[in-house]
Amino acid sequence: MGSKSSKDTDDDHEPKQQEKKLPEHLEVQRTRVVCKADAPVNTEGFQYAGAYSAMGIDNSVSAEKFCKNFKVEISRLTEDDMEFDMIGIDASIANAFRRILIAELPTMAIEKVLMVDNTSVIADEVLSHRLGLIPLDADPRHFEYMSENDVPNERNTIVYKLHVSCKKGSPRLTAQACIVFPRMLIDIFYRIKFSHSFLCTVKSGDLEWLPEGSRLPLASPAQSRYKQKTYTSFSQSQKDILEKPLGVKFKDITIARLGPGQAIVLEVHGVKGMGKVHAKWSPVATAWYRMFPEVVFRKEIKGDNAEKLVKKCPVNVFDIEDLGNVTIESTGGLPPEALFTEAVRILEEKCERVISELS
């Protein structure tokens, strides 16, 4: 049988040093936003390492402490959105993720519209604006940014064409006809609703991807004796460099309605950009976070009184056990989990730049 040394015996009997804790009111001030009658209080964070040094408490943030307290719990994950809880993180970090998701994650969007023919009632500028807001089903990680001096090529530009027309000869609806023949208005309404013989609806699904690049010539055939140049300079087809065909995320978005004899013929070019330049490049419909609610009673409620309290609450707040802290709704360019991963990477790069500038 072995025997313990005197040093081991002394270590066993030595009392463990307890970690110092803040007084209750300061802990509430540090970790809770309290809703008062006039306004919330304790909204600012305390990230300064020496904030409580007078009490002998270290408030600094370390990687070891962060990894120990931080936890992510995913409560919902679909193709277009996700909801998850971030536990053990300051609200400023959650807000940093939110701002990066909205404004600093790149995506692809229509930037240039080459109008060939537009005889619809929608003006060219309005039509171009509607086209720019259509979410494109394209992974921005496969493309490069295009500067003012760059030539549109297969690595920085996506080309779509739109050619839709409404057949001539269909009856037109006039104001005079509606006044003289009110029954005619009803009949035409049902024709509009249940058939395509009166109006043609231009949908986002009518946009056709051109993997070979632009098909519109820069000059007319009579002005050029050589091979026609187009608005892009593709050296190879995008089918050879992309994993899947490109298109639009939602094919049922209404772009315009055409009357008899009207047509829209155009070509659009999509490029890579960020939401801080224009909202059309924002990869999320929205991204927000909310802090966990906490209701504190002055005394414990049990039994029948607890059941009465639950029934009296109009929104059943006392039945909710888990609330999502962060919600991300993707517009379709990337799945929501990939968006959050990219946001973490961008925040990491920002931190590295700050460290390198200070060192």
Q: What is the DSSP string of 195-244?
A: -SSS-EEEEGGG-EE-TT---SBSS-GGG-SSPPPBS---SS-GGGT-SS
Q: Is 258 exposed, middle or buried (0-12, 13-18, 19+ CB in 10 A)?
A: buried
Query: Mind listing the pLDDT tens digit of every residue in the chain (359 residues)?
Result: 444 444 454 555 544 445 678 888 888 887 777 888 888 887 777 767 788 888 888 777 778 888 888 888 898 999 999 999 888 887 888 889 999 999 999 999 999 999 999 999 999 999 999 999 999 999 999 999 999 899 999 999 999 999 999 988 655 544 444 455 455 555 555 454 444 445 789 999 999 999 999 999 886 655 555 667 899 999 999 999 998 999 999 999 999 999 999 999 999 999 999 999 999 999 999 888 887 777 777 787 788 887 777 777 765 555 434 444 789 999 988 999 999 999 999 999 999 999 999 98
Structural tokens at position 135? 């979410």
Amino acid identity for residue 141 in this structure: R
* C-alpha neighbours within 13 Å on the C-beta side of residue 329: 6
Write down the domain spans for the chain.
Answer: 24-61, 62-102+286-358, 107-280
| 317 DSSP 8-state letter | G
For residue 318, the model assigns a pLDDT of 57
Residue 300 CA, distance from chain mean position: 42
pLDDT of residue 177: 42
Q: What is the pLDDT of residue 25?
A: 81
Domains 62-102+286-358 and 107-280 share a fold: no
Q: Please give the Cα distance from 162 to 203 (Å, whole number).
A: 10
Cα separations in angstroms, 256 against 130, 161, 164, 204: 9, 15, 10, 10
Answer whether 173's CB lies under 8 Å from 192's CB: no
**Predicted pLDDT at 317:** 57
3-class DSSP state for residue 133? coil
Instruction: Tell me the pairing of strands 284-289 and 326-330.
Output: antiparallel
DSSP classification of residue 280: G
62-102+286-358 topology per CATH: Gyrase A; domain 2 (3.30.1360)
User: Using alpha carbons only, what angle is made at residue 274 by residues 269 and 277, rounded to the nearest 5 degrees?
Assistant: 90
pTM of the model: 0.73
Exposure string of 212-221, with b = 16+ CB inside 10 Å and e = fewer, is ebbeeeeeee
Does the domain spanning 107-280 belong to CATH 2.170.120.12? yes
In this structure, what token pair is assigned to residue 159? Answer: 């080309």
* Element housing 108 (H / E): strand 107-118
CA angle 85, 86, 87 (to 5 degrees): 110
**Could you give the CA distance from residue 41 to residue 249 in angstroms, rounded to a whole number?**
43
Residue 284 has a pLDDT of 94
